[in-house]
Amino acid sequence: MRPTKNICCIGAGYVGGPTMSVIAQKNPSIKVTCVDLNESRIKAWNNENLDNLPIYEPGLAEVVAEARGRNLFFSTDVDKAIDEADMIFISVNTPTKTYGEGKGMAADLKYIELCARQIARVATNDKIIVEKSTLPVRTAEAVKSILDHTGNGVNFQILSNPEFLAEGTAIQDLQNADRVLIGGENTEDGKLAMQELVNIYASWLPKDRILTTNVWSSELSKLVANAFLAQRVSSINAISELCEVTEADVQEVAKAIGKDSRIGPKFLNASVGFGGSCFQKDILNLVYISKSLGLNEVADYWEQVIIMNDHQKNRFARKIVKTLYNTVADKKIAFLGWAFKKDTNDTRESAAIYIAEKLLHEQANITIYDPKVKEHQIFSDLEYLGTLDPEIIKQRVRVVNDPYLAMDQAHAIAILTEWDEFITYDWRRVYDKMVKPAFVFDGRGITDGLNLEKYDFQVFRLGKSITTNKG
Ligand SMILES: NC(=O)c1ccc[n+]([C@@H]2O[C@H](COP(=O)([O-])OP(=O)(O)OC[C@H]3O[C@@H](n4cnc5c(N)ncnc54)[C@H](O)[C@@H]3O)[C@@H](O)[C@H]2O)c1
Ligand SMILES: O=c1ccn([C@@H]2O[C@H](COP(=O)(O)OP(=O)(O)O[C@H]3O[C@H](CO)[C@@H](O)[C@H](O)[C@H]3O)[C@@H](O)[C@H]2O)c(=O)[nH]1
């Protein structure tokens, strides 16, 4: 097996872009080419102005500035990059299927299959293929079958190397990963291929954080990691509802249980619901796999994590309507935040989209401010739902660049993303300009330290009963 001098990554998205940037930064002697069919995305990756990269991630621009043009390249010439590469990462999207068998549950593997067929068609020498995308367990079998039966007598080794970075902290997560997981075949060639990939990560990570397993354990571990993380959020969200009716405070409960080292303090923030492109998709995939294998109790167990998440979003929207005297019709509701979490411009599956949908069905007017999400993205998220009349969206939704403008003359504020800047606002000024009584619905648990009640706000924070300065 020849040493890896040339890497190609198919898919320059939220994973491919940052991951290849860090691999290139840490391995200056390896040429890394990230390719994508999406021309505007590649153009943005090549933009001179680093503020215009297609993805916002703290620290990403600095890494790209260091490696781009040295040993990091972005291109739309997929065939050329495949042909030149010793190792090919597949980092394309694997969304939930929207058609046919498994619709709404299974992962759509059409992009993966297209990549495998393209590699098989173009490759003229042996290559290591790395599954970077999140895939159902045993996908490597299908990839191998396509490569082996339509190839040109070329040998392929398939590795599974799922990515665990979280958006908003991608660069930090990549540079200081808790672990890297590499699954491969237990054969001579399989072990050599795994070693090639271990070497790449070992240029910056301690060896004991690089785990090697069989392919199936690696593929399945990715789905399981996300299922466990999301389960913690749904668990604490379930408790938040119980807190609201018992005068317990979910933040105090989370702190108390998190001190137990067996439970740990992370991922216990009650919220308006988890979003992002991964949790829901990957759990649905796990549920689908379990059902397909006849493991109905296993499927039901994990499905409950999603059911609780949907419930949390619904009840937050209902709480707003109920508190505003059972009607939000023609009232102005200010949204602080649209991204699914702070420090990202990604809005996929963001809870804010679903809260807006419900309030628009109640004929509310919504004014949205998010420090990183662009107006066209917000409108496209709402139109994509397919449940709202486009005319209604146009009439009732406004996106503004100034948070004070968003909150001016609002009946209520809904905090839907935990952006740090929200707690720095002049809340006295906000209060003075709002319709009274002025309500704040905190879906992210960030307002406690602000003591908004002192300005006479009526505050609902998930997991705590409504509070006013009168107690
Ligand atoms: N977003 C995350 O935080 C994250 C973290 C870990 C794992 N993952 C997984 O990584 C995978 C990619 O996720 P993402 O968020 O980067 O998706 P993305 O949609 O941002 O990027 C995927 C890119 O692949 C490109 N693409 C698709 N088919 C192609 C082809 N045949 N040739 C060239 N380019 C092609 C698309 O144009 C797109 O730009 C998914 O399986 C996801 O589950 C995502
Ligand atoms: O205590 C918490 C923690 C998270 N969330 C929400 O959960 C969602 C997901 O957050 P996070 O996991 O931080 O971001 P992702 O980028 O979706 O990352 C997850 O999904 C990725 C894609 O598979 C994995 O690689 C990561 O390890 C995994 O954390 C967001 O809406 C968060 O606001 C909460 O509501 N409460």
Determine contact, residues 444/233, Cβ cutoff 8 Å.
no
Residue of the CA atom closest to atom 15 of ligand 2: 166
Tell me, rounded to whole angstroms, the distance of Cα 205 from its chain centroid: 24
166 lines ligand 2 (CB under 6 A): yes
Query: How many angstroms is it from 130 CA to the middle of ligand 1?
Result: 14
Name the token pair of 285: 């995939």
Spans of all domains in the chain? 6-205, 249-471
Torsion sign (Cα): 274, 172, 109, 33: positive
Determine contact, residues 463/444, Cβ cutoff 8 Å.
no
Determine contact, residues 198/1, Cβ cutoff 8 Å.
no
Amino acid at 18: P
Beginning with the edge strand found earlier in the chain, give each strand of the sheet holding 31-35 in spatial order. Answer: 72-75, 31-35, 6-10, 87-90, 127-131, 156-160, 180-184, 210-214
Catalytic site residue 278?
yes
Alpha-carbon gap, residue 414 to 417, rounded angstroms: 9
Q: Report whether 13 belongs to an annotated binding site.
A: yes
Query: How many angstroms is it from 140 CA to the middle of ligand 1?
Result: 17
Ligand nearest to the CA of 112: 1
Residues shown for the chain:
471
- Substitution site in 274, 342, 415 for ligand 2 pocket (most atoms within 8 Å of beta carbon): 274
Alpha-carbon gap, residue 11 to 20, rounded angstroms: 10
According to CATH, the topology of domain 6-205 is Rossmann fold (3.40.50)
Residue of the CA atom closest to atom 41 of ligand 1: 133
Helix/strand/coil for 194: helix
- Substitution site in 278, 348, 417 for ligand 2 pocket (most atoms within 8 Å of beta carbon): 278
Q: Report whether 43 belongs to an annotated binding site.
A: no
The neighbouring-strand residues paired with 334 are 367, 413
Q: Report whether 321 belongs to an annotated binding site.
A: no
At 471 the pLDDT is 46
Alpha-carbon gap, residue 29 to 392, rounded angstroms: 55
**What CATH code is assigned to 249-471?**
3.40.50.720
Taking alpha carbons only, the member of 420, 275, 415 closest to residue 333 is 415
Taking alpha carbons only, the member of 301, 288, 278 closest to residue 103 is 288
Query: How many angstroms is it from 234 CA to the middle of ligand 2?
Result: 12
Query: How many angstroms is it from 12 CA to the middle of ligand 1?
Result: 7
Residue of the CA atom closest to atom 17 of ligand 2: 276
Amino acid at 405: L
- Substitution site in 91, 130, 226, 377 for ligand 1 pocket (most atoms within 8 Å of beta carbon): 91
Q: How many CB atoms lie within 10 A of CB 244?
A: 20
What's the start-to-end Cα distance of the chain, in Å?
71
Residues 6+ away with beta carbon under 8 Å from 49 = none
Q: Report whether 70 belongs to an annotated binding site.
A: no
Name the token pair of 89: 């990462």
pLDDT tens string, the chain, 471 residues long: the values are 789 999 999 999 999 999 999 999 999 999 999 999 999 999 999 999 999 999 989 999 999 999 999 999 999 999 999 999 999 999 999 999 999 999 999 999 999 999 999 999 999 999 999 999 999 999 999 999 999 887 678 999 999 999 999 999 999 999 999 999 999 999 999 999 999 999 999 999 999 999 999 999 999 999 999 999 999 999 999 999 999 999 999 999 999 999 999 999 999 999 999 999 999 999 999 999 999 999 999 999 999 999 999 999 999 999 999 999 999 999 999 999 999 999 999 999 999 999 999 999 999 999 999 999 999 999 999 999 999 999 999 999 999 999 999 999 999 999 999 999 999 999 999 999 999 999 999 999 999 989 999 999 999 999 997 666 654
Determine contact, residues 448/415, Cβ cutoff 8 Å.
no
Determine contact, residues 319/262, Cβ cutoff 8 Å.
no
Are 6-205 and 249-471 equal in CATH topology? yes
Ligand nearest to the CA of 55: 1
78 lines ligand 1 (CB under 6 A): yes
Name the token pair of 393: 């969206």
